[in-house]
Structure 1
Amino acid sequence: MNPAFSERTFEFCFNAEYCFANSALLASHPHIPSQQKEKDLGYDVEFKIRQGNYTKSIYIQHKVSSYAEKRAGANAQFFNTHNGPYFRFAVDNEQHNTLHDLSATKGNAFYCAPRFHLTHELEGHFRASTIRRNAVLLDPLTVGQINDNNRHNVTYDASGRNPTLHSDPRPFERAYSGAEDDPPKLRELRIDLSFIDDLSADLMQRAISSRFENAVTDAIKRARPIEQVQHLLGRVYQVSWLLLP
């Protein structure tokens, strides 16, 4: 059964709850409305980073998952992995490898997906502030890079356990939630303007050497590093970027 709400809706709900609970700065997200707002956000983020209040950098790619209650046809490998109902979302290989490398060198990166798929469930969890508790956070670093052009999926059971990257099954180390009693351990970094410069250079080189080359326009090349980071993370790699104290 396909999810009844969009990734952007889930992203908004999760980010709003997570940022409020953790005093986090939402430094970039996939849908910045206009170039002017992007510039305004860039200046605001630069100003806050100069104050030296942030020590953790988190990159989140939000996914919504289809839900299968029964073994049927081509889903047998997924169903058998969990011996029962499961959730599944598709993976973009290049985005996966970017998340993997960000997690290894620039902070903490996660897939974030819900343990529900119906609109009334989303509405109920949003009103009760339980979106985080009913989401899974998966670190791509624990399953490694994808080095082929095949189609890949991530599955997890109805309780969020046994997260696995397919088609050659590789289990994630574990699934976390975003709730206070089950947080992933976040690595701390020195987050300053030098960090932004390094992150920008890394993302720019990565994009230029990939199928996203056309996204690096002359205007982006002339932009300030913080604007380059926000553009590439949000609009190219579809990643929310959060900074935590």
Structure 2
Amino acid sequence: MKPNISEFSYGYALTEELVMGFGNKLTSSPVFPSLYQEGKDGGGWDVKLDKGGIPLFLQFKLSDYLKTKSALEYKKGKISLPYYRMHIRSKKYSRQHELLLKLERDGNEVYYSAPGFHEPGELNDAYLKQKVKNRSLWVKPTYIGDITDNKEHCVVFKLPKPHYFCSEPKEIKKDLSFESFQNEIYSAFEERKEYALSRNSLDELVKKIKRLAKERVDDFPEYDSGLRFGVKIPRIDEEIKEIEKEKEEGKTIEKLLINKELLMNHENMVENKFSNKHPIELLAYYASFYFGSQLMTVTEFEK
């Protein structure tokens, strides 16, 4: 059964809870790039971030609900009914998991988050009780690992457990609860808070993300033409589909060159739009565009 809630609604409810805090010590704030000048270069971000903290990259997912005996993972004897399924896009269509994996392996806090519910009433109940985060799965890309084939993959789960990475079920023997996620964030915060949100660190992170994106010029986000954070994005989803169709005709290289040119044009437009902005806003834009992720800053509660 497909979810009857939207990714936006789930992401909004979860983000609001994270803003309210990780217990009694830390809080987090989503970073939304703005094209409006806020009185001075950098928009005042240096003042906001000078107390230290760490960046956090979240990709919000939705979960299918499986309750019948025809469910694939149930038939393989690995999990009982009912359970949930969080999809990972096939490498054939998207290298996003690979990019997130590299981002995490580079020392960043990166997570998939998926709800252990699928109906609006369940979301409303969790939201009113401030339990959206507790009724969600928290998965680091490294818990899944490298995906080397073009098959469809997913994580099937119950809360609090078990959890399996599929297509061929392999148990994820990690604690995927919010409490575990919270402890991991506490640990990363104490280790990196003094420098992780400095201008120099954020500048370097932006450069690394751009390098990762250039390594994967054959994989563009599937966005329609239009404005995203005020920056025009070329429509190239049809180009990507044509690449798959024309591989056997020897036209792939030509198409990749077209995509490489589009990437350069897009990058130039973005750099121009964000030229007077703090690097954290550019980082937030690239996190959304290339990784499909929401950038958040984790900081201490102000006393």
- TM bucket normalised to smaller: 0.7 to 0.9
Could you tell which deviates more after superposition, 161-170 or 135-144?
A: 161-170
Q: Which residue of structure 2 lines up, in the alignment, with residue 232 of structure 1? A: 286
Q: State the aligned residue count.
A: 232
Q: 1:178 offset after TM fit, Å?
A: 2.9
Point out the more displaced range, 125-134 or 204-213. 204-213
Q: Secondary structure at the match of 1:83?
A: coil
Where 2:165 maps in the other structure, the secondary structure is strand
Residue in structure 1 matched with residue 205 of structure 2 by the alignment: 199
C-alpha separation in 2, matches of 1:148 and 1:43:
44
* 1:165-176 map, 5 Å: 165-176=165-176
How far residue 60 of structure 1 moved from its aligned partner, in angstroms, is 0.9
Partner residue in 2 for 1:71: 69
Q: Deviations over 1:158-210 (max 9, x none)?
A: x241222211333334243335x873423232211121111101111111222
CA distance in 1, matches of 2:178, 2:45: 23
Q: Secondary structure at the match of 2:150?
A: coil
Q: Contact between 1:162 and 1:175, CA under 8 Å: does it hold in 2?
A: no
1:209 aligned partner, one-letter code: E
Question: Which residue identity lines up with residue 73 of structure 2 in the other structure?
Answer: Q
Residue of structure 1 in register with 2:119 after alignment: 118
1:96: which partner in 2? 97
Q: Would the alpha carbon gap of residues 173 and 19 (structure 1) be closer, same or farther in structure 2, given more than 3 Å must change?
A: farther
Give the TM-score of the pair, scaled to structure 1.
0.84
Find the aligned partners of 1:96 and 1:145 in 2 and give their Cα distance. Answer: 8
- Distance across 2 between alignment mates of 1:76 and 1:148: 19
**C-alpha distance in 2, partners of 1:81/1:152?**
15
The equivalences for 1:1-245 within 5 A come to 1-22=1-22, 23-28=27-32, 36=35, 43-49=43-49, 51-54=50-53, 56-72=54-70, 75-77=71-73, 80-92=77-89, 93=91, 94-157=95-158, 159-179=159-179, 183-186=182-185, 187=188, 188-189=191-192, 190-191=195-196, 192-210=198-216, 211-212=219-220, 214=262, 216-222=266-272, 223-224=274-275, 225-245=279-299
Structure 2 unmatched ranges of 5 or more: 221-259
Are 1:68 and 1:87, in contact at CA under 8 Å, matched by a contact in 2?
yes
Structure 2 CA distance, aligned partners of 1:241 and 1:182?
16
Query: What CA distance in whole angstroms lies between the structure 2 residues aligned with 1:144 and 1:118?
Result: 30
1:95–1:182 distance in 2 versus 1, CA, 3 Å:
closer
* Native 8 Å contact 1:176 1:183 kept in 2: no
TM-score norm. by structure 2 comes to 0.69
Contact kept in structure 1, 2:31 and 2:281, CA below 8 Å? no
Aligned counterparts of 1:44 and 1:141: Cα–Cα separation in 2 = 35
Secondary structure of 2:2's match? Answer: coil
Runs of 4+ in 1 over 6 A off after TM superposition: none
Q: Which is higher, the Rg of structure 1 or of structure 2?
A: 2
Which runs of no fewer than 5 residues in structure 1 stay unpaired? none
Conserved 8 A contact 1:66-1:89? yes
Q: Is the 8 A contact 2:57 2:109 kept in 1?
A: yes
Classify the secondary structure of the residue corresponding to 1:153: strand
- Cα distance in 1 for partners of 2:68, 2:290 equals 35
